Amino acid sequence: MFIAESYAKPEVDAKIDVSNITAKNVALVINEADTNSVKVGEYYRLARNIPRENIVRVNIPKATNKISVNAFIRLKWEIDSQLHNQEQVILLAWTKPYAVECNSITSAMTFGYDPTQCKNTCAPGKPNPYFNSSIANPLGELGLRLTMLLPTDSVSQAKSVIDRGVQSDVGVFRSTAYYLNTSDAARNSRAQYFPPQGLQVPRSGLAVMNIKSDKLVGAQDVMIYQTGLAWVEGLDTLGFLPGALADHLTSFGGDMLGQGQMSVLRWLDAGATATYGTVSEPCNYWQKFPNPAVMLKWYASGATAVEAYWKSVAWPTQGLFVGEPLAAPYRQ
Protein backbone atom coordinates (compact mmCIF):
# COMPACT_ATOMS: atom_id res chain seq x y z
CA MET A 1 0.00 0.00 0.00
CA PHE A 2 1.40 3.38 -0.93
CA ILE A 3 0.42 6.96 -1.57
CA ALA A 4 0.46 8.48 -5.05
CA GLU A 5 1.48 12.00 -5.92
CA SER A 6 -0.43 14.75 -4.13
CA TYR A 7 -2.79 17.36 -5.43
CA ALA A 8 -2.45 20.90 -4.18
CA LYS A 9 -4.10 21.20 -0.79
CA PRO A 10 -7.45 23.01 -1.20
CA GLU A 11 -8.34 25.93 1.00
CA VAL A 12 -11.48 25.92 3.14
CA ASP A 13 -13.82 28.70 2.05
CA ALA A 14 -17.49 29.07 2.98
CA LYS A 15 -18.27 31.94 0.60
CA ILE A 16 -19.18 29.86 -2.46
CA ASP A 17 -22.84 29.29 -3.35
CA VAL A 18 -22.69 26.04 -5.28
CA SER A 19 -25.89 24.01 -5.23
CA ASN A 20 -28.87 24.13 -7.56
CA ILE A 21 -29.90 20.53 -6.89
CA THR A 22 -33.37 19.99 -5.39
CA ALA A 23 -35.99 17.24 -5.30
CA LYS A 24 -37.01 17.87 -8.90
CA ASN A 25 -33.47 16.92 -9.96
CA VAL A 26 -33.50 13.47 -8.31
CA ALA A 27 -34.36 10.28 -10.19
CA LEU A 28 -35.53 7.76 -7.58
CA VAL A 29 -34.89 4.16 -8.68
CA ILE A 30 -37.02 1.44 -7.06
CA ASN A 31 -36.57 -2.32 -7.40
CA GLU A 32 -40.10 -3.65 -7.68
CA ALA A 33 -38.88 -7.18 -6.87
CA ASP A 34 -37.74 -5.94 -3.43
CA THR A 35 -40.52 -5.16 -0.94
CA ASN A 36 -38.21 -3.00 1.16
CA SER A 37 -37.14 -0.99 -1.87
CA VAL A 38 -40.78 -0.29 -2.71
CA LYS A 39 -41.60 0.77 0.86
CA VAL A 40 -38.52 2.98 1.30
CA GLY A 41 -38.87 4.44 -2.17
CA GLU A 42 -42.43 5.55 -1.49
CA TYR A 43 -41.41 6.98 1.89
CA TYR A 44 -38.62 8.97 0.24
CA ARG A 45 -40.90 10.19 -2.55
CA LEU A 46 -43.31 11.64 0.00
CA ALA A 47 -40.64 12.93 2.41
CA ARG A 48 -38.76 14.83 -0.31
CA ASN A 49 -41.71 15.50 -2.63
CA ILE A 50 -40.02 13.78 -5.55
CA PRO A 51 -42.08 14.30 -8.73
CA ARG A 52 -43.91 11.14 -9.83
CA GLU A 53 -42.36 11.41 -13.28
CA ASN A 54 -38.93 11.05 -11.60
CA ILE A 55 -39.71 7.56 -10.29
CA VAL A 56 -37.81 4.86 -12.15
CA ARG A 57 -38.98 1.28 -11.71
CA VAL A 58 -36.81 -1.75 -12.41
CA ASN A 59 -37.05 -5.44 -11.57
CA ILE A 60 -34.05 -7.19 -10.02
CA PRO A 61 -35.21 -10.55 -8.65
CA LYS A 62 -32.90 -12.28 -6.17
CA ALA A 63 -30.44 -9.39 -6.17
CA THR A 64 -26.85 -10.19 -5.18
CA ASN A 65 -24.14 -8.00 -3.64
CA LYS A 66 -22.15 -7.93 -6.88
CA ILE A 67 -23.50 -8.17 -10.42
CA SER A 68 -21.84 -9.05 -13.69
CA VAL A 69 -20.99 -6.48 -16.33
CA ASN A 70 -23.66 -7.85 -18.67
CA ALA A 71 -26.33 -7.66 -15.97
CA PHE A 72 -25.27 -4.10 -15.19
CA ILE A 73 -25.41 -3.02 -18.82
CA ARG A 74 -29.02 -4.24 -19.00
CA LEU A 75 -29.88 -2.54 -15.72
CA LYS A 76 -28.27 0.76 -16.70
CA TRP A 77 -30.09 0.77 -20.03
CA GLU A 78 -33.38 0.15 -18.22
CA ILE A 79 -32.71 3.05 -15.86
CA ASP A 80 -31.34 5.45 -18.47
CA SER A 81 -34.33 4.88 -20.74
CA GLN A 82 -36.64 6.27 -18.03
CA LEU A 83 -34.64 9.41 -17.20
CA HIS A 84 -35.41 13.03 -18.08
CA ASN A 85 -33.21 16.05 -18.73
CA GLN A 86 -33.89 17.71 -15.38
CA GLU A 87 -32.52 14.82 -13.31
CA GLN A 88 -29.00 15.51 -12.05
CA VAL A 89 -28.92 12.80 -9.36
CA ILE A 90 -29.77 9.10 -9.37
CA LEU A 91 -30.79 7.56 -6.03
CA LEU A 92 -30.81 3.76 -5.93
CA ALA A 93 -33.28 2.67 -3.24
CA TRP A 94 -31.88 -0.77 -2.40
CA THR A 95 -29.03 -2.49 -0.59
CA LYS A 96 -28.15 -5.04 -3.29
CA PRO A 97 -26.52 -4.87 -5.80
CA TYR A 98 -23.83 -2.44 -4.65
CA ALA A 99 -20.92 -3.55 -6.84
CA VAL A 100 -20.28 -4.27 -10.51
CA GLU A 101 -17.24 -6.56 -10.45
CA CYS A 102 -14.61 -4.31 -8.75
CA ASN A 103 -16.52 -1.06 -9.45
CA SER A 104 -19.06 0.40 -7.08
CA ILE A 105 -22.53 0.54 -8.59
CA THR A 106 -22.74 4.28 -7.88
CA SER A 107 -19.58 5.01 -9.85
CA ALA A 108 -20.60 2.64 -12.64
CA MET A 109 -23.97 4.37 -12.94
CA THR A 110 -22.32 7.81 -13.12
CA PHE A 111 -19.29 7.07 -15.33
CA GLY A 112 -20.02 3.67 -16.81
CA TYR A 113 -18.22 0.45 -15.91
CA ASP A 114 -14.40 0.73 -15.88
CA PRO A 115 -12.80 -2.65 -16.78
CA THR A 116 -9.26 -1.27 -16.54
CA GLN A 117 -9.49 -0.77 -12.76
CA CYS A 118 -10.38 -4.44 -12.29
CA LYS A 119 -7.15 -5.58 -13.95
CA ASN A 120 -5.35 -4.10 -10.94
CA THR A 121 -7.53 -2.64 -8.20
CA CYS A 122 -4.45 -1.10 -6.57
CA ALA A 123 -3.62 0.92 -9.65
CA PRO A 124 -4.49 4.62 -9.83
CA GLY A 125 -8.07 5.34 -10.81
CA LYS A 126 -9.56 7.45 -13.59
CA PRO A 127 -9.76 11.14 -12.63
CA ASN A 128 -13.12 12.55 -11.63
CA PRO A 129 -13.73 15.76 -13.67
CA TYR A 130 -16.16 16.91 -10.98
CA PHE A 131 -13.48 16.76 -8.25
CA ASN A 132 -13.24 20.04 -6.31
CA SER A 133 -15.02 21.88 -9.11
CA SER A 134 -17.44 24.81 -8.94
CA ILE A 135 -19.76 23.06 -11.39
CA ALA A 136 -23.39 23.33 -10.25
CA ASN A 137 -24.90 21.42 -13.18
CA PRO A 138 -22.90 18.18 -13.60
CA LEU A 139 -25.27 16.80 -16.24
CA GLY A 140 -25.29 19.93 -18.38
CA GLU A 141 -21.58 20.69 -18.05
CA LEU A 142 -20.04 17.21 -17.78
CA GLY A 143 -22.76 14.81 -18.92
CA LEU A 144 -22.73 13.18 -15.46
CA ARG A 145 -25.54 12.22 -13.12
CA LEU A 146 -24.28 11.85 -9.55
CA THR A 147 -25.38 8.53 -8.06
CA MET A 148 -25.98 7.60 -4.43
CA LEU A 149 -27.35 4.43 -2.86
CA LEU A 150 -29.93 4.41 -0.04
CA PRO A 151 -29.74 1.01 1.72
CA THR A 152 -33.10 -0.64 2.39
CA ASP A 153 -32.11 -3.85 4.21
CA SER A 154 -33.70 -2.23 7.28
CA VAL A 155 -36.81 -0.18 6.49
CA SER A 156 -36.70 1.54 9.88
CA GLN A 157 -33.05 2.52 9.41
CA ALA A 158 -33.69 3.82 5.91
CA LYS A 159 -36.60 5.94 7.15
CA SER A 160 -34.39 7.35 9.91
CA VAL A 161 -31.69 8.29 7.38
CA ILE A 162 -34.32 10.00 5.21
CA ASP A 163 -35.76 11.84 8.21
CA ARG A 164 -32.32 13.11 9.19
CA GLY A 165 -31.76 14.40 5.70
CA VAL A 166 -35.07 16.26 5.71
CA GLN A 167 -34.42 17.64 9.20
CA SER A 168 -31.08 19.03 8.02
CA ASP A 169 -32.94 21.50 5.81
CA VAL A 170 -33.61 23.76 8.79
CA GLY A 171 -29.86 24.16 9.33
CA VAL A 172 -27.75 23.98 12.47
CA PHE A 173 -26.53 26.61 14.91
CA ARG A 174 -23.36 24.99 16.21
CA SER A 175 -21.61 21.86 15.01
CA THR A 176 -18.16 20.30 14.80
CA ALA A 177 -16.14 18.49 12.15
CA TYR A 178 -13.94 15.84 13.78
CA TYR A 179 -10.80 14.52 12.08
CA LEU A 180 -8.92 11.69 13.78
CA ASN A 181 -5.23 11.18 13.05
CA THR A 182 -4.95 7.53 14.07
CA SER A 183 -2.12 5.14 14.91
CA ASP A 184 -2.93 3.10 11.79
CA ALA A 185 -0.33 4.58 9.43
CA ALA A 186 -1.54 2.73 6.33
CA ARG A 187 -5.09 4.04 6.75
CA ASN A 188 -4.02 7.52 7.77
CA SER A 189 -2.92 8.65 4.30
CA ARG A 190 -5.38 11.55 4.04
CA ALA A 191 -4.44 13.10 7.41
CA GLN A 192 -2.27 15.58 5.47
CA TYR A 193 -5.55 17.12 4.25
CA PHE A 194 -7.26 17.40 7.62
CA PRO A 195 -8.27 21.04 8.26
CA PRO A 196 -6.35 22.65 11.14
CA GLN A 197 -7.41 22.35 14.74
CA GLY A 198 -9.57 25.24 15.93
CA LEU A 199 -10.64 26.43 12.48
CA GLN A 200 -13.99 28.24 12.56
CA VAL A 201 -15.74 28.14 9.17
CA PRO A 202 -17.30 31.60 8.63
CA ARG A 203 -21.09 31.97 8.71
CA SER A 204 -21.68 28.27 9.37
CA GLY A 205 -21.21 27.79 13.12
CA LEU A 206 -18.95 24.87 12.19
CA ALA A 207 -15.75 24.32 14.16
CA VAL A 208 -12.89 21.91 13.46
CA MET A 209 -11.32 19.42 15.85
CA ASN A 210 -8.15 17.74 14.56
CA ILE A 211 -7.26 15.04 17.07
CA LYS A 212 -4.55 12.39 17.44
CA SER A 213 -6.60 9.44 18.63
CA ASP A 214 -8.00 6.09 17.51
CA LYS A 215 -11.53 6.85 18.68
CA LEU A 216 -13.93 9.67 19.39
CA VAL A 217 -16.08 9.27 22.49
CA GLY A 218 -19.05 11.24 23.81
CA ALA A 219 -19.20 14.12 21.30
CA GLN A 220 -22.80 15.24 20.76
CA ASP A 221 -22.36 17.84 18.01
CA VAL A 222 -20.94 15.73 15.18
CA MET A 223 -21.50 17.06 11.65
CA ILE A 224 -18.43 15.54 10.00
CA TYR A 225 -16.36 12.61 11.28
CA GLN A 226 -13.46 11.24 9.22
CA THR A 227 -10.91 8.73 10.39
CA GLY A 228 -8.71 5.87 9.19
CA LEU A 229 -9.26 2.46 10.76
CA ALA A 230 -10.62 -0.95 9.80
CA TRP A 231 -13.04 -0.79 12.74
CA VAL A 232 -14.22 2.38 14.47
CA GLU A 233 -15.00 2.21 18.18
CA GLY A 234 -17.21 4.48 20.27
CA LEU A 235 -19.91 5.17 17.67
CA ASP A 236 -22.66 4.30 20.14
CA THR A 237 -21.53 7.18 22.40
CA LEU A 238 -21.81 9.90 19.75
CA GLY A 239 -24.54 12.34 18.78
CA PHE A 240 -24.69 12.89 15.02
CA LEU A 241 -26.56 16.01 13.89
CA PRO A 242 -29.08 15.88 11.01
CA GLY A 243 -27.10 15.89 7.77
CA ALA A 244 -23.91 14.48 9.32
CA LEU A 245 -21.29 12.99 6.98
CA ALA A 246 -18.97 10.27 8.28
CA ASP A 247 -16.55 7.75 6.79
CA HIS A 248 -13.44 5.71 7.52
CA LEU A 249 -10.52 5.05 5.19
CA THR A 250 -10.24 1.28 4.94
CA SER A 251 -10.25 -1.20 2.08
CA PHE A 252 -13.70 -2.74 2.28
CA GLY A 253 -16.03 -0.33 4.07
CA GLY A 254 -18.18 -0.20 0.92
CA ASP A 255 -18.58 -3.98 0.93
CA MET A 256 -21.71 -3.30 2.94
CA LEU A 257 -22.65 -6.90 3.75
CA GLY A 258 -19.08 -8.18 4.09
CA GLN A 259 -17.61 -9.32 7.40
CA GLY A 260 -13.91 -8.49 7.11
CA GLN A 261 -14.00 -4.78 8.08
CA MET A 262 -16.52 -2.31 9.43
CA SER A 263 -19.30 -1.68 6.94
CA VAL A 264 -20.42 1.86 6.10
CA LEU A 265 -23.85 0.73 7.31
CA ARG A 266 -22.54 1.13 10.86
CA TRP A 267 -22.19 4.88 10.27
CA LEU A 268 -25.86 5.04 9.32
CA ASP A 269 -26.76 2.93 12.38
CA ALA A 270 -24.89 5.44 14.55
CA GLY A 271 -26.78 8.44 13.13
CA ALA A 272 -24.87 9.66 10.07
CA THR A 273 -26.91 10.79 7.07
CA ALA A 274 -24.38 9.95 4.34
CA THR A 275 -21.15 7.98 4.10
CA TYR A 276 -18.65 6.43 1.69
CA GLY A 277 -16.54 3.30 1.33
CA THR A 278 -14.75 1.22 -1.30
CA VAL A 279 -16.10 -2.12 -2.56
CA SER A 280 -12.76 -3.62 -3.63
CA GLU A 281 -9.13 -3.33 -2.49
CA PRO A 282 -8.09 0.21 -3.46
CA CYS A 283 -4.78 0.41 -1.59
CA ASN A 284 -4.52 3.59 0.46
CA TYR A 285 -4.44 6.26 -2.21
CA TRP A 286 -6.14 9.22 -0.60
CA GLN A 287 -7.51 10.05 -4.05
CA LYS A 288 -9.84 7.04 -3.77
CA PHE A 289 -11.43 8.43 -0.60
CA PRO A 290 -13.13 11.69 0.34
CA ASN A 291 -10.59 14.50 0.66
CA PRO A 292 -11.40 16.10 4.04
CA ALA A 293 -10.62 19.72 3.12
CA VAL A 294 -12.52 19.51 -0.16
CA MET A 295 -15.58 17.92 1.42
CA LEU A 296 -15.64 20.45 4.25
CA LYS A 297 -15.32 23.35 1.83
CA TRP A 298 -18.25 22.38 -0.36
CA TYR A 299 -20.55 21.10 2.36
CA ALA A 300 -20.07 24.21 4.50
CA SER A 301 -20.65 26.30 1.37
CA GLY A 302 -24.18 24.92 1.00
CA ALA A 303 -23.71 21.89 -1.25
CA THR A 304 -25.91 18.86 -0.76
CA ALA A 305 -24.45 15.65 0.66
CA VAL A 306 -24.29 14.02 -2.78
CA GLU A 307 -22.46 17.03 -4.25
CA ALA A 308 -20.02 17.41 -1.35
CA TYR A 309 -19.11 13.73 -1.41
CA TRP A 310 -18.80 13.47 -5.19
CA LYS A 311 -16.71 16.67 -5.36
CA SER A 312 -14.32 15.28 -2.73
CA VAL A 313 -13.24 12.00 -4.37
CA ALA A 314 -10.61 12.34 -7.10
CA TRP A 315 -10.68 8.68 -8.25
CA PRO A 316 -14.13 7.28 -7.38
CA THR A 317 -14.34 4.08 -9.49
CA GLN A 318 -14.27 1.75 -6.48
CA GLY A 319 -16.13 4.05 -4.11
CA LEU A 320 -19.74 3.61 -2.99
CA PHE A 321 -21.65 6.80 -2.13
CA VAL A 322 -24.33 5.98 0.45
CA GLY A 323 -27.13 7.89 2.19
CA GLU A 324 -29.65 10.68 1.67
CA PRO A 325 -28.43 12.86 -1.20
CA LEU A 326 -30.34 16.09 -0.55
CA ALA A 327 -29.15 16.70 3.02
CA ALA A 328 -27.81 20.29 3.11
CA PRO A 329 -27.60 21.80 6.60
CA TYR A 330 -25.57 24.81 5.40
CA ARG A 331 -27.60 25.69 2.32
CA GLN A 332 -29.29 28.52 4.25
Q: Judging by beta carbons within 10 Å of its beta carbon (0-12, 13-18, 19+), is residue 70 exposed, middle or buried?
A: exposed
| pLDDT digits 0-9 by tens, 149-183 | 999 999 999 999 999 999 999 999 899 999 999 99
Taking only the tens place, the pLDDT of each residue in 17-70 is 478 899 999 999 999 999 999 999 999 999 999 999 999 999 999 999 999 999
The helix (run of H) or strand (run of E) holding residue 235 is none
Q: In Å, what is the CA distance from 35 to each residue of 15, 30, 59, 183?
A: 43, 10, 11, 43
Cβ pair 264, 253 in contact under 8 A: yes
**Mean pLDDT score, 103-108:** 98
**How high is the mean pLDDT of the chain?**
94
Distance, in Å, from the CA atom of 111 to the CA atom of 95, rounded to the nearest integer, reads 20
Residue 8 has pLDDT above 90, yes or no: no
**pLDDT > 70: what percent of the chain?**
95
CA distance 208 to 200: 6
Q: Give me the helices (H) in the chain, please.
A: 35-48, 69-80, 105-111, 115-119, 138-142, 155-167, 265-270, 292-300, 305-312
**What is 273-299 written as a DSSP string?**
SEEEEESS---S-GGGS--HHHHHHHH
Give the pLDDT of residue 11.
53
- What integer pLDDT is reported at residue 267 of this predicted model? 98
Q: How far apart are CA 277 and CA 263, in angstroms?
A: 8
Query: Edge-to-edge strand order for the sheet containing 99-100?
Result: 66-67, 99-100, 103-104
Residue 203 has a pLDDT of 84
User: What does the pLDDT read at residue 215?
Assistant: 97
pLDDT interval class at 15 (50, 70, 90): very low
Reported as a single tens digit per residue, the pLDDT across 197-248 is 999 998 899 999 999 999 999 999 999 999 999 999 999 999 999 999 999 9
User: Which pLDDT does position 173 carry in this prediction?
Assistant: 87
- Whether 6 has a pLDDT exceeding 50, the answer reads no
pLDDT at 164: 98
Over residues 247-306, the pLDDT tens digits come to 999 999 999 999 999 999 999 999 999 999 999 999 999 999 999 999 999 999 999 999
Residue 332 binned pLDDT confidence (cut-offs 50, 70, 90): confident
The CA distances from residue 71 to 28, 37, 66, 68, in Å, are 20, 19, 10, 5
Host H or E run for residue 244: strand 240-248
Q: What does the pLDDT read at residue 14?
A: 42
